């Protein structure tokens, strides 16, 4: 077995978020579904951006946010994602390295596509609605995924979003096989209820074959399993026998260990400013605990703590060292 170099290796989209406040009317006007992610082409992205208010640009991308969270907790993450050969790509790479993530991203195979951007509209209730232009991310392929790094990671972490990009999806499926063959674990985030719906059969197959830890919020897990209530969802998870974390916003999280459930309360937040990254940071905290031999209750509490930090400000990456919060909260 290869020597362990990373707690978690994440493979996902390398995205710079462009975040602005808005109101419900704006979402309606563009036909957006609040709280979800939609893919856009360049023309649609421009139309939305032209109408958006003052924005801030902050490196994001669901898996990348999780890796940044693990680094902030003191773990050893690696992130593989594809950026464009442009300034935003440089900025993305800089920001993820500087927080302590080992970043790899097709440096040897330059792309002509721009770095991915995500227009994020945040409403007064703190909810985020996302419009992603994938750009260079669509070119992620098997050659970008270093098998040696995968074998040297306790867990690889992947996202449902990639199922919208056929070439990337295939590369990631191959990465899962590499990980499993090396006796490593696979964690999957469902990403979005529409993603779960669009790719239900493939994701269910992946979960039954390769996934050890599943992350999703209520909407995503309900959507994947076509469940209409919590009991129905738990029944389906029981059949799948997968370790699953179902995040429920202010209601906390339910951890299902394959046979029984554990309910953990949400950590207190003074004011919910922007929920972008809440799920990503929950996964960061959980996986940090999981790769450090903590019990499931402790894993979930660290996740809840990390999620609480990130929703207290704009942007999906921690602003304070989560390692310090860990100590402060006795976790």
Question: What does the block give as tokens for 14?
Answer: 């390398």
Q: Does 115 bind a second copy (CB under 8 A)?
A: yes
- β-pair partners for 216: 246
**Considering only 21-29, 55-63, 163-171, 246-254, which stretch makes contact with a second copy by CB under 8 A?**
55-63
How does strand 102-104 pair with strand 77-80? parallel
**To the nearest whole angstrom, how small is the minimum distance from the Cβ of residue 50 to a second copy?**
8
CA-to-CA distance for 25 and 83, rounded, in angstroms? 33
Task: State the minimum distance, in angstroms, from the CB of residue 164 to a second copy.
Answer: 22
φ, ψ at 201 (rounded to 5°) = -65, -45
Do residues 279 and 247 touch, judged by C-beta distance below 8 A?
yes
As measured in angstroms, the least distance from the Cβ of 8 to a second copy is: 21
Does residue 205 belong to the site contacting a second copy (CB under 8 A)? no
Assess 57 for contact with a second copy (CB under 8 A).
yes
CB of 90 to a second copy, least distance (A): 7
Question: Per rule CB under 8 A, is residue 247 in the interface with a second copy?
Answer: no
Nearest to 99 by CA among 67, 122, 127, 125: 67
CB of 250 to a second copy, least distance (A): 29
Q: Which is nearer to a second copy, 88 or 145 (CB)?
A: 88
DSSP 169-199: HHHHHHHHHHHHHTT-EEEEE---HHHHHHT
Beta bridge partners of 245: 215, 255
Q: Which span (85-93, 161-169, 219-227, 278-286) binds a second copy, by CB under 8 A? A: 85-93
Residue of the chain from 29, 34, 87, 251 that contacts a second copy (CB under 8 A): 87
3-class SS of residue 163: helix
Which one, of 144, 180, 137, lies nearest residue 159 by Cα? 137
Contact between 152 and a second copy by CB under 8 A: the answer reads no
The residue within the footprint of a second copy, chosen from 24, 86, 102, 170 (CB under 8 A), is 86
Q: Which is nearer to a second copy, 114 or 160 (CB)?
A: 114
Beta bridge partners of 187: 157, 213
Q: Is 258 exposed, middle or buried (0-12, 13-18, 19+ CB in 10 A)?
A: exposed
Question: By CB under 8 A, how many residues form the interface with a second copy?
Answer: 22
**CA distance to 7, 64, 234, per residue, from 153 (Å):** 6, 16, 30
Q: Which is nearer to a second copy, 64 or 254 (CB)?
A: 64
Task: With H, G, I as helix, E, B as strand and everything else as coil, classify residue 56.
Answer: strand
Q: Of residues 9, 11, 14, 18, which one binds a second copy by CB under 8 A?
A: 18
Minimum CB separation of residue 54 from a second copy in Å reads 5
**Applying CB under 8 A, does 90 fall inside the site for a second copy?**
yes
Q: What value does the CA radius of gyration of the chain take, rounded to a whole number of Å? A: 18
By C-beta, is 75 or 315 nearer to a second copy?
A: 315
Residues that bind a second copy (CB under 8 A): 18, 49-50, 52-58, 86-88, 90-91, 94-95, 98-99, 114-115, 117
């Amino acid at each position: 077995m290869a020597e362990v170099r990373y707690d978690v290796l994440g493979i996902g989209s390398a995205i710079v978020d462009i975040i602005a406040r808005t109101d419900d009317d704006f979402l309606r006007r563009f036909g957006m579904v609040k709280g979800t992610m939609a893919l856009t082409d360049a023309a649609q992205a421009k139309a939305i951006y032209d109408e958006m208010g003052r924005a801030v640009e902050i490196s994001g991308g669901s898996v990348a946010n999780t890796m940044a969270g693990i680094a902030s907790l003191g773990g050893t993450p690696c992130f593989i994602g594809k950026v464009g050969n442009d300034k935003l790509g440089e900025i993305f790479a800089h920001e993820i390295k500087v927080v302590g993530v080992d970043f790899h991203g097709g440096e040897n195979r330059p792309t002509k596509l721009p770095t991915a951007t995500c227009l994020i509209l945040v409403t007064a209730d703190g909810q985020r609605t996302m419009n992603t232009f994938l750009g260079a991310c669509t070119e992620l392929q098997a050659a970008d995924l270093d098998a040696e790094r995968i074998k040297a990671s306790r867990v690889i972490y992947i996202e449902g979003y990639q199922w919208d990009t056929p070439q990337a999806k295939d590369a990631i499926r191959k990465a899962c096989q590499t990980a499993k063959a090396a006796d490593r674990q696979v964690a999957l985030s469902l990403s979005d209820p529409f993603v779960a719906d669009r790719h239900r059969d493939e994701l269910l197959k992946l979960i039954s074959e390769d996934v050890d830890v599943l992350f999703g919020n209520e909407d995503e897990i309900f959507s994947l399993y076509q469940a209409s209530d919590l009991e129905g969802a738990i029944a389906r998870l029981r059949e799948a026998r997968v370790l699953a974390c179902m995040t429920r916003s202010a209601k906390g999280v339910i951890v299902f260990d394959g046979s029984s459930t554990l309910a953990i309360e949400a950590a207190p937040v003074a004011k919910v400013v922007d929920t972008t990254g809440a799920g990503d940071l929950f996964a960061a905290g959980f996986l940090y605990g999981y790769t450090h031999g903590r019990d499931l209750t402790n894993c979930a509490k660290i996740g809840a703590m990390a999620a609480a930090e990130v929703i207290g400000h704009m942007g999906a990456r921690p602003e304070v060292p989560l390692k310090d919060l860990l100590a402060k909260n006795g976790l």
